[in-house]
Amino acid sequence: MNIEIYDIREQKARLDEIVDYFWKQWGSESNYHFYRDCMEHSCQTDNNLPRFYVAMEDSKIVGSYALLRSDLNSRQDLEPWFACLYVSPELRGRKLGTQLQNHAKDQARIAGYPALYLSTDLDGYYERNEWIAKGHTYLFDGTQTKVYELESSKRVTIS
């Protein structure tokens, strides 16, 4: 598997395609402009956050993730948030999700963050990759979900 992971700032010529990829996985009919605005402005700042990343195999986008200041939940005291992890169905089972998580940890560590945070209702997946449940948070719509933490210095084993 020859996968390259890029900060979208390195792929500005493909921004329309990248926005579509994220939006089709995570967006809704009404929030395309939200994703576009977030990504465009992330390309125009020198701040560490937000940052969006894509995985490419032979120039085809096959995965994504983001590091964000907030994942629209009540735990505004924590950052960065690991979000938008997605692996295209044809590459699932090939450890690309783990590779993207390791890349995120490297980026967080380089930026000086001791840990990453994640909110999800998915059971089992992140625990296998050494994320530790740290309690609950409330999402923007009022639902409760789990908060996970991963030290940025930890490496997830790709076996």
pLDDT, position 73:
87
Q: What is the pLDDT of residues 41-93, one digit of tens each?
A: 999 999 999 999 999 999 999 999 999 998 888 999 999 999 999 999 999 99
Summarised one tens digit per residue, pLDDT across range 111-134 is 999 999 999 988 889 998 889 999
DSSP string, the chain: --EEEEEGGGGGGGHHHHHHHHHHHH--TT-HHHHHHHHHHHTT--SS-SEEEEEEETTEEEEEEEEES--SBS-TT--PEEEEEEE-GGGTTSSHHHHHHHHHHHHHHHTT-SEEEEEE---SHHHHTT-EEEEEEEBTTS-EEEEEEEETT------
Max Cα separation, the chain?
Answer: 41
- Give the domains, in start order, of the chain with CATH numbers: 3-151 (3.40.630.30)
Confidence of residue 141 (pLDDT cuts 50, 70, 90): confident
* Residue 140: predicted pLDDT: 84
pLDDT, position 121: 87
